[in-house]
């Protein structure tokens, strides 16, 4: 039977007169590899900070391991690995000292120390460098190692791959896939739906503080949006309202289309003498959400 690990019930956080998140409800179960996707300012960090007990919700409830985060914060934190979106360390410590400091907070037994060494090797980080001399991406690696070294039951990661180069992003996701296979529960935020689609088994899409879609990845993929690529014509005025992301190609057009295929085919039939080629394919999930679910304002902010 599914075991709840994170349960958010009608969770809201209000700053002055604006909601950062509004009535968010979400269930994350043991063994889920759960992506949390949305543009800048959507409410991802706010949700995660509430889960960590760093800020308090205005309304609703957040439970982790079936306990309320507001009263059981320490026992919950002992079982979590957390990566904040912005990494803050003591600048004068070295990488090794920082990682050891974090390990000591977790009891620093032999297993943790061996694991931190393995991770430093895997993420290719110079343990003797001072934190203040590190690039943003290398600071991120230290943050990742601090969150992974004690092998917790639950990982809450706020944009862990931002600042990492593509090679290191791949190393990170590979490490998380291995941990997921061993039974870990992972809740990870990202701006990038494509990377979440690739690695996570479930996802929630958040926009302007509200969850607009959530569930298993294969369910999210089932939208009625298609990408249509046509050679031979440069416009279809009759379909203007249903077409998004219209691009002129060398010899035609490419666009996202959301309506019945019957209507599309009926209209295209009237262009049959000019159409040289036609393809209708599943679009990338990222472009679907960008063009159909995320508001124009958020796209400008992103
Ligand atoms: N301390 C605060 N005071 C006032 N407003 C805040 C505060 N913290 C967050 N907000 C607002 O709440 C909203 C959600 O912010 P949040 O940081 O949770 O978004 P996010 O999805 O994590 O964005 P990003 O991807 O940029 O990190 C934003 O409109 C933000 O301006």
Residue nearest ligand 1's atom 17 by CA: 45
Sign of CA dihedral 87, 89, 92, 95: negative
Q: What is the pLDDT averaged over residues 82-104?
A: 89
Which region, left, alpha or beta, applies to residue 55 given φ > 0 means left and ψ of -120 to 50 means alpha?
beta
Q: Specify whether the CB–CB gap between 64 and 51 falls below 8 A.
A: yes
Rounded distance from Cα 227 to ligand 1 centre (Å): 33
Residue nearest ligand 1's atom 4 by CA: 15
Residue 96 has pLDDT above 80, yes or no: yes
Higher pLDDT, 103 or 58: 58
Q: DSSP string spanning 31-43?
A: T-EEEEE--TTSS
Rounded distance from Cα 67 to ligand 1 centre (Å): 25
The per-residue pLDDT for range 263-277, each reduced to its tens digit, is: 999 999 999 999 999
Q: What is the pLDDT averaged over residues 166-171?
A: 95
ipTM of the complex: 0.96
Residue 212 has pLDDT above 70, yes or no: yes
Domain 4-217 coded CATH 3.20.20.140:
no
Give the count of alpha carbons within 13 A of 67, CB side only.
Answer: 13
Residue nearest ligand 1's atom 5 by CA: 15
Residue 302 has pLDDT above 50, yes or no: no
Q: Return mean pLDDT, the chain.
A: 90
Tell me which long-range contacts 210-213 makes (C-beta under 8 A, separation of at least 24). 210/21, 210/22, 210/23, 210/24, 210/43, 211/24, 211/25, 211/26, 212/293, 213/289, 213/293
- The model's confidence at residue 298, banded by pLDDT at 50, 70 and 90, is very low
Domain boundaries, the chain: 4-217, 225-301
Residue 296 has pLDDT above 60, yes or no: no
Rounded distance from Cα 146 to ligand 1 centre (Å): 24
Residue 294 has pLDDT above 70, yes or no: no
Q: Which CATH class is domain 225-301?
A: alpha beta
Q: Give pTM, 2 decimals.
A: 0.83
Q: Specify whether the CB–CB gap between 174 and 165 falls below 8 A.
A: no
- How do 185-190 and 154-158 pair as beta strands? parallel
Residue nearest ligand 1's atom 30 by CA: 41
Q: Please give the pLDDT value at position 89.
A: 87
Give the C-alpha separation, 148 to 83, whole Å. Answer: 9
The per-residue pLDDT for range 5-53, each reduced to its tens digit, is: 999 999 999 999 899 999 999 999 999 999 999 888 899 999 999 999 9
Give the C-alpha separation, 183 to 161, whole Å. Answer: 22
Higher pLDDT, 210 or 106: 210
Around ligand 1, the residues with Cβ closer than 6 Å are 15, 20, 38, 40-46, 85, 191
């Amino acid at each position: 039977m599914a075991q709840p690990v994170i349960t958010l019930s009608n969770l809201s956080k209000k700053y002055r007169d604006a909601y950062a998140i509004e009535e968010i409800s979400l269930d994350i179960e043991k063994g889920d590899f759960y992506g949390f996707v949305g543009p800048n300012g959507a409410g991802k960090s706010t949700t995660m900070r509430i889960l960590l007990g760093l800020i308090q919700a205005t309304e609703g409830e957040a439970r982790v391991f079936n306990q309320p985060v507001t009263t059981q914060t320490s026992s919950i934190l002992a079982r979590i690995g957390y990566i904040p979106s912005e990494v803050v360390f003591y600048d004068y410590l070295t990488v090794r000292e920082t990682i050891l400091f974090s390990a000591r907070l977790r009891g620093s037994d032999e297993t943790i120390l061996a694991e931190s060494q393995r991770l430093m090797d895997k993420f290719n980080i110079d343990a003797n460098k001072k934190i203040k001399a590190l690039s943003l991406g290398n600071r991120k690696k230290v943050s990742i190692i601090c969150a992974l070294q004690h092998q917790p039951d639950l990982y809450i990661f706020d944009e862990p791959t931002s600042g990492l180069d593509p090679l290191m992003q791949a190393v990170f996701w590979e490490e998380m896939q291995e941990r997921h296979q061993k039974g870990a529960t992972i809740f990870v935020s990202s701006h990038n739906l494509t990377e979440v689609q690739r690695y996570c088994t479930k996802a929630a899409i958040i926009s302007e503080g509200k969850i607009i879609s959530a569930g298993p990845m294969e369910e999210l993929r089932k939208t009625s949006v298609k990408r249509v690529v046509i050679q031979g014509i440069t416009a279809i005025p009759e379909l203007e309202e249903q077409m998004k992301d219209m691009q002129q190609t060398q010899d035609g057009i490419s666009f996202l289309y959301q309506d019945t295929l019957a209507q599309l085919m009926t209209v295209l039939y009237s262009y049959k003498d000019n159409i040289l080629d036609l393809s209708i394919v599943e679009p990338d999930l990222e472009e679907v959400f960008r063009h159909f679910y995320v508001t124009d304002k958020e796209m400008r902010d992103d």
